[in-house]
Amino acid sequence: MITILRLGHRPARDKRVTTHVALAARAFGADRVLVSTRDPGLERTVHEVVRKFGGPFEIETGVAWKKVLREWRGTKVHLTMYGLPLDEILPRIPRDDLLVVVGAEKVPAEVFDLADVNVAVGNQPHSEVAALAVFLDRLLGGAGIRRILRGRIEIAPSPRSKLVRERAE
């Protein structure tokens, strides 16, 4: 199981980016996302995407992030531009019982200490969505985006147009 822990979500300011963190997590192979701030609207949005596009994926908001980090039994990876290079550390990261931490606003220094490894997905500023997508894709060797999730809506490959298939419920 791969769980994403989103820190510092501010509903009024970060709604779209946190939604994208959750959608990227789902699309690239994570099993669930935990968000430190309670946001029922975010939960509804993600549940609706899962209902339409399928797959097993969970979201929970309002989690006590320090407790999650302290009590996590598996490996805890913090994605940051200040950590060890992704290519160097990737072979040592397990694919199961993994907690991946991504921040929004400034991440508390405590997170760097509570994580088992701080991983730099590049050392230039970019979004947490990009870092998460690159990390999951590299970690899972592309398997996350190749999954067939059997939703009500399915996007069919097409060289020039939108092909959307709807399945009966």
pLDDT digits (tens, 9 = 90+) for 7-45: 987 776 677 899 999 999 999 999 999 999 999 999 999
- Helix (H) / strand (E) containing 52: helix 40-53
Domains of the chain: 2-166 (3.40.1280.10)
Enter the pTM of the model: 0.93
3-state secondary structure of 92: helix
How far, in Å, CA of 126 to CA of 131, rounded?
7
Contact between residue 111 and residue 104 where contact means Cβ atoms under 8 Å apart: no
pLDDT digits (tens, 9 = 90+) for 42-84: 999 999 999 999 989 999 999 999 999 999 999 999 999 889 9
Residue with tokens 């870092």: 131
Contact between residue 1 and residue 27 where contact means Cβ atoms under 8 Å apart: no
How far, in Å, CA of 131 to CA of 119, rounded?
10
- Helix (H) / strand (E) containing 103: none
Q: Which of 124, 111, 116 is nearest to 92 (CA)?
A: 116
How far, in Å, CA of 162 to CA of 155, rounded?
8
pLDDT number for residue 8:
83
pLDDT number for residue 169:
63
